[in-house]
Amino acid sequence: MSFFSEFKAFAMKGNVIDLAVGIVIGAAFGKIVSALVDAIIMPIVGILIGGFDFKSLLVKVGTAEIKYGVFIQSIVEFVIIAFALFLVIKAMNRMKKDEPPAPAPGPTATEQLLAEIRDELKRK
Tell me the domain boundaries of the chain.
Answer: 3-97
Query: Is the pLDDT score of 27 beyond 70?
Result: yes
Q: 3-97 maps to which CATH number?
A: 1.10.1200.120
DSSP the chain: --HHHHHHHHHTSHHHHHHHHHHHHHHHHHHHHHHHIIIIIHHHHHHHTTS--GGG--EEETTEEE-HHHHHHHHHHHHHHHHHHHHHHHHHHHHSPPPPPPPPPPPPHHHHHHHHHHHHHHH-
Task: Indicate the average pLDDT of the chain.
Answer: 82
How confident is the model over 37-57, as pLDDT tens digits?
Answer: 778 887 787 788 777 677 788
